[in-house]
Amino acid sequence: MMQNKDLFSSAIRYEKPEPGSRVPIWELEFHGWNHFSRQALVVGTEFTALSRAEKTYALTQNAEVVAAVCEMLNFSAVTVPGAYWEIAPGHPAFFWLPEKERLKQIRLLQKTIGDKIMLVASNPAVLAMPGADEYMEFAYTLMECPHEIETRAKALCQSGMEEATRLLDLGVGALYTASDIADNHGPYFDPGQMEQLILPFLDRWAMHVQRKGGLSILHSDGNLTPILPMIAGTSVQALQAIDPTAGMELRATKNRVKGQLTLCGNIDCGLFITGSTEEVFEATRDALEGSKENGGLVLGASNAIEKELRKENYLAFLDAWKTYGIYS
């Protein structure tokens, strides 16, 4: 029987599943650790307030928590804490560590669970649509000086490939570039801009990751349906989100890229907070029954599982997976 880590690797490579094996589970970011562990995961601002000795202890404890919870929840892969980013000015996201400690945490996780569960890391390498704070400046520059945006895209790709090498050398096995290139209405970039600013760099980064022995994944929210063939035509191996809030449907998306691109997702992440156990179970069942055939599927939420989740909803998700996630 294949290890969970091998199930994930096989699925991302779109290999034919073995009879009796299961669809692998991976969450883009899982923030629900403390719902399933008596020991607390210490990250973010709580971590920065610790003394030096306390930080060392916390990193060791974090590795133990992650290992235990991943085994309990049957994860085939787990995303390591990310680099710094803000959810609002001055307010950092929950699941991050300062860079020095982030690298130490990766080493500890590799030592603790690296043979059983695939380590996944965020690796920004491909341009994304701008955030609210830079939207107007980016839009004007894109229209008036597109070569300047292309220069940014080249620099981002180069720095991303350099970081990819460092992360893979630490024992991370899969990397994703979180690059939102669409919103709920459709792609932000027109076809010409995709060809100039997105696709060549996605292809270059994915090829670099794979040459170094890693797996490459693109994460993007939004309705990507019009540009799915473009994405599938690059070297990237998998697409994460398949955003249900943007109208993307898992089965239809798989039919469009079958054999070319593994899909990761796409249970509505909001259901885990506001939905009922029955709704979560049914959504998970429908996703598996409609899209697991012949592999090319990694099950998970459409985006991060927030710490506000209802524990019983995640257990309902797992119950559906245990019943419907087996390959015949």
Beta strands in the chain (DSSP E): 77-79, 86-88, 91-92, 118-122, 174-178, 182-183, 186-187, 215-219, 238-241, 262-267, 297-301
Domain tally, the chain: 1
Rounded Cα distance, 155 and 144, in Å: 20
Segment 273-322, tens digit of pLDDT: 999 999 999 999 999 999 999 999 999 999 999 999 999 999 999 999 99
User: Which long-range contacts link 321-326 to residues 24+ away (Cβ below 8 Å)?
Assistant: 321/22, 321/23, 321/25, 321/74, 321/284, 321/288, 323/285, 324/284, 324/285, 324/288, 324/289, 324/292, 325/22, 325/23, 325/288, 325/292, 325/299, 326/20, 326/21, 326/22
Task: Tell me which residue range forms the domain holding 121.
Answer: 4-324
What is the CB neighbour count within 10 angstroms for residue 85? 12
Closest-CA residue to 47 (of 93, 86, 5): 93
Residue 1 pLDDT class (50, 70, 90 cuts): low
Q: How far apart are the first and last CA of the chain?
A: 14
Among all chains, which residue has been given the structure tokens 């249970």?
267
Rounded Cα distance, 320 and 314, in Å: 10
Amino acid 93: pLDDT: 82
Amino acid 148: pLDDT: 97
Amino acid 39: pLDDT: 95
Among all chains, which residue has been given the structure tokens 């029955």?
278
- Report pTM: 0.97
Segment 20-58, tens digit of pLDDT: 999 999 999 999 999 999 999 999 999 999 999 999 999
Amino acid 91: pLDDT: 77
CATH number at residue 155: 3.20.20.210
Segment 217-261, tens digit of pLDDT: 999 999 999 999 999 999 999 999 999 999 999 999 999 998 999
Continuous segment of H or E residues that includes residue 204: helix 199-211
SS3 175: strand
Instruction: Please answer whether residues 235 and 207 qualify as being in contact, where contact means their C-beta atoms are separated by less than 8 angstroms.
Output: yes
For the cut 90, the answer to whether the pLDDT of residue 131 exceeds it is no
Q: Given 3-state DSSP classes, what are the helix, strand and coil percentages for the chain, each rounded to the nearest 5?
A: 50, 15, 35
Rounded Cα distance, 121 and 82, in Å: 7
Helices (H) and strands (E) in the chain, counts: 13, 11
